[in-house]
Structure 1
Amino acid sequence: MNPIPDEPGRIVRGSDDYRRAGRSLFVAGAATFGMLYSVQPLLPEFAREFGQTPAGASLTLSVSTVLLAAALPIAGLLSDRIGRKRVMEASLLLASLICLAAALAPGFASLLALRALLGILLAGLPAVAMTYLAEEMDPASLGAAMGLYISGNSIGGLAGRGAVSTISDLAGWRWGVGAVALCGLLAAWQLMRRLPEPRRSAANRTTPQEMLAHSRRHLRRPVLLALFGIGAVLMGGFVTLYSYLAFRLLAPPFELPQAWVGWIFILFLTGSVSSPLMGRLRDRRAALGLALGLLAAGLALTLPEQLGLTLLGTALFTAGFFGGHAVASAWVGAAAPAGRAQASSLYLLFYYAGSSLGGTAGGLAWSAAGWPGVVRLIGGMLAAGLLLWLALCLLPSARLSARPYDLDKGER
């Protein structure tokens, strides 16, 4: 027998709707992150083919993430006006078509333009998916559902990067990017067929004025501000590490083949385990502290020029990132008394801004000081994350209630 939901209309873990929603958003998240980050292992190849510096080649990723971040508030408003499911469906379908066009880009400028458009279109899925889960799931089921969705992100990141890198080694990067785009089209079809229609957001019609008012209130809440900052730190460090790890492993003393470097992303599987596990922890502050500890330990292990230690460190770093993101994103949805779409959009705005800034700054650090420079940059980000975590620990409104993801009853 399925558990009885705490509130009428909520989706509870173990129900048919939970399975349909979980599988649909798992696949959609995988496709989104597969398309967004499929170019990451190709940065050295873009640098060679188009005559770009490492920082210049990284723009193929940074331009997508920065415009995705900028488009998030608009996507949240659209989902309030025309429906969560419609926005997610259109986002994934159109982004897949643009990704397919990027595989045919004749030059670097056109590739950048298409990657920019891809980022704008993809904005309709991440923030809206998080809002959908926060609104539709029973509070006791939210952490596990969010963890499942984020584990899809990690699987998509792994599959997209690994497949593109392998196909690139065999037939060229264009075939690899095209294959990821076709997977996106299949995921869009699955989302249209299987995702349950939202019930709790059907009457929500937020105006632009209300959206701005919600956003201002969220930016005045210390709990949410700290979580937004932690999201930026997590993603900034993660993207920086993986973007320049490829350059490091292709260079002496490792000199690995391109296909092998692409499959380094199989370490994302640690994230598919850590995100649902940490998402279920009742003490969110302890879970975030654990995630930051894993990130710091993993980063330190990548410093020695030993492949085994580098892989172990990257695995720990990856587990910490996905676990921390699962906890922080679910906490944002629970800590916003109203305007959850705007809260999720703001979290992801900071999250992807961290990605864009970190990715570009990492190129400068790599050019100036090699891998030790990249490690110092990421270490500085983690130090900022530690300060934000300590601030969360000191805030009375950050204390947990009886259930893991109930609304925070503290300051409003």
Structure 2
Amino acid sequence: MPYDPTRTSQYPAQTLLAREQSTERPPWEGHTKGSAAYGRILAGLAFAGVATFAQLYSTQAMLPIMAADLRITAAEAALTISLATVGLAVTVIPWSFLADRIGRVRAMTWGISAATVLGLLLPLAPSFAMLLGLRVLEGMALGGIPAIAIAYLNEEVNKAHAALAAGSYVAGTTLGGLAGRLVAGPVGEWWGWRAAALAVSVLATVAAILFLLMIPSARGFTAATANGLRGAVRTLAGHTRNPRLLALYVQAFLLMGGFVAVYNYLGFRLTGEPFNLPATAISLIFLAYLSGTVSSRWAANLTTRFGRRNVLAAGIVLMVGGLALTLAPVLVLILFGLLIFTGGFFAAHAIGSGWTGSIATSGRAQAASLYNLAYYLGSSVIGWAGGLVFQTLGWTALALSVMGMACTTAVVVAVVHPASTAPGSSQ
């Protein structure tokens, strides 16, 4: 019988195999730097960072105003920061599981939308207790952004550019935190903290809309099944037994806790003798965040030459050196030291947050969630407890405590991540 190319029954196995091979999709390698989708990812996540961190830390710029208006202590005023970050910390892992089922972009959309609505309700809080409750809920909604954003990056961006993309995202978060504080400080001084909260919420709403318009659909995401979720739980437990990841979680807890404590209480120091700065001037200290915008991208670029471990250690050294300068009773030195301290922190954070996705070859969303859990628990616990140190022993004691935590972090990283690690590797 002559060969008929339309009849697959003549060579069924070979024909089916050929068809299967011809329709098989090549593995997704991610968007490369310079592509339109890569640019949209970075822009969209930058707006998400603005919406998230403008709201999360907006009250930090007006803590002295809130303390005076509500007749509460510095540590009590700082609860508006700590409880919001507690809410975020306890929900990052549940959000990561939800994102495994419904998709990264959809989960981030739900979180950012809920947080925006809660933020608009914040100025209407009739009491300090209600204000704290809304801040907890706002933080819980915002938990749907940080860890998912890193997981999304690792799935959608080519591995060769993942560290740079993570650094760019962290740079966007610094701009968000800065924008919220710069808006809240002057508005709070002129019209009170409620007007400041409203102004920041409006800013976050605009940023959230831009995020929804810019962010591309996921291409590297595969939804988890029920069995996949059980496997993710096992993966989560495995992450907690991985010493390399644990070292990064320790770093996140200690460095972020110290960082927030410094920014929470430096404003109180500068409003008192001998500086007596007004609230608007205090809000300008957050311009130091711009050094973090630069250093987070700078650090990501340097990893290809010096390795993540060395760049992270350099960031910690800058933190300690900058904080030492704030011990001087000279305003110029304090501000310069804050600039160095902030740049060092964000360099270390950019490396640590991106490193989790590289170390964790599976369960990346859960690995990033654990990092964020440690990060925001540090913000909550140490950020609040630092107020007790400051109120009792003063600024010098607080600064030395934060320097001690930074040095502890450096030792942990040095021990767990060996110096023989090759530059640019995932080690």
Q: Residue in 2 aligned with 1:220?
A: 241
Aligned pairs (5 A) from 1:25-36 = 25-36=45-56
Query: What SS does structure 1 have at the residue aligned with 2:129?
Result: helix
User: How far did 1:395 drift?
Assistant: 7.7
Query: What SS does structure 2 have at the residue aligned with 1:102?
Result: helix
Q: Structure 1 CA distance, aligned partners of 2:261 and 2:396?
A: 13
Deviations 1:85-127 (A, max 9, x none): 0111111111011011111211101100000000100000001
Aligned pairs (5 A) from 1:192-231 = 192-205=212-225, 207-231=228-252
Query: What SS does structure 1 have at the residue aligned with 2:327?
Result: coil
User: How far did 1:209 drift?
Assistant: 2.2
Match 2:361 to one of 303, 323, 337: 337
User: How far did 1:269 drift?
Assistant: 0.4
Q: Residue in 2 aligned with 1:3?
A: none
1:353 paired to 2:377: yes
Name the stretch that deviates more: 204-213 or 40-49.
204-213
Match 1:314 to one of 338, 342, 361: 338
User: How far did 1:172 drift?
Assistant: 1.5
1:146 paired to 2:159: no
Q: Residue in 1 aligned with 2:80?
A: 60
Contact 1:24 1:194 in 2 (8 A): yes
User: How far did 1:405 drift?
Assistant: 5.7
Name the stretch that deviates more: 342-351 or 358-367.
358-367
Contact 2:103 2:223 in 1 (8 A): no
Q: Structure 1 CA distance, aligned partners of 2:110 and 2:236?
A: 25
Contact 2:37 2:216 in 1 (8 A): yes
Q: Structure 1 CA distance, aligned partners of 2:27 and 2:270?
A: 51
Q: Residue in 2 aligned with 1:371?
A: 395
Q: Structure 2 CA distance, aligned partners of 1:143 and 1:26?
A: 15
Q: Residue in 2 aligned with 1:326?
A: 350
Query: What SS does structure 1 have at the residue aligned with 2:394?
Result: helix
Aligned pairs (5 A) from 1:11-410 = 11-205=31-225, 207-280=228-301, 281-282=303-304, 283-394=307-418, 399-400=421-422, 404=424, 406=426
Query: What SS does structure 2 have at the residue aligned with 1:103?
Result: helix
Contact 2:65 2:279 in 1 (8 A): no
Q: Structure 1 CA distance, aligned partners of 2:200 and 2:137?
A: 16
User: How far did 1:389 drift?
Assistant: 1.8
Report sequence identity in percent: 39
Deviations 1:319-338 (A, max 9, x none): 00111111111111100010
Structure 1 stretches of 5 or more lacking a match?
A: 1-5
Contact 2:92 2:144 in 1 (8 A): yes
Contact 1:244 1:366 in 2 (8 A): yes
Look up the equivalent residue of 2:360 and give its one-letter code: A
User: How far did 1:213 drift?
Assistant: 0.5
**How many equivalent residue pairs?**
398
Deviations 1:197-255 (A, max 9, x none): 11111344464422220111111111111011111122111101000011011111110
4+ residue runs over 6 A deviation:
none
Q: Structure 1 CA distance, aligned partners of 2:310 and 2:239?
A: 23
Q: Structure 2 CA distance, aligned partners of 1:85 and 1:24?
A: 10
Q: Structure 2 CA distance, aligned partners of 1:203 and 1:44?
A: 46
Q: Structure 1 CA distance, aligned partners of 2:76 and 2:334?
A: 26
Contact 1:11 1:17 in 2 (8 A): yes
Contact 1:331 1:405 in 2 (8 A): no
Q: Residue in 1 aligned with 2:12?
A: none
CA 1:7–1:324: 2 relative to 1, 3 Å: farther
Query: What SS does structure 2 have at the residue aligned with 1:52?
Result: coil
Q: Structure 2 CA distance, aligned partners of 1:82 and 1:102?
A: 29
Q: Structure 2 CA distance, aligned partners of 1:189 and 1:9?
A: 29
CA 1:7–1:246: 2 relative to 1, 3 Å: farther
Name the stretch that deviates more: 244-253 or 385-394.
385-394
Q: Structure 2 CA distance, aligned partners of 1:388 and 1:371?
A: 26
Look up the equivalent residue of 1:307 and give its one-letter code: L
User: How far did 1:165 drift?
Assistant: 0.3
Q: Structure 2 CA distance, aligned partners of 1:162 and 1:184?
A: 13
Contact 2:28 2:220 in 1 (8 A): no
Q: Structure 2 CA distance, aligned partners of 1:391 and 1:69?
A: 27
User: How far did 1:384 drift?
Assistant: 1.6
Name the stretch that deviates more: 240-249 or 177-186.
177-186
TM-score, normalization: structure 2? Answer: 0.90
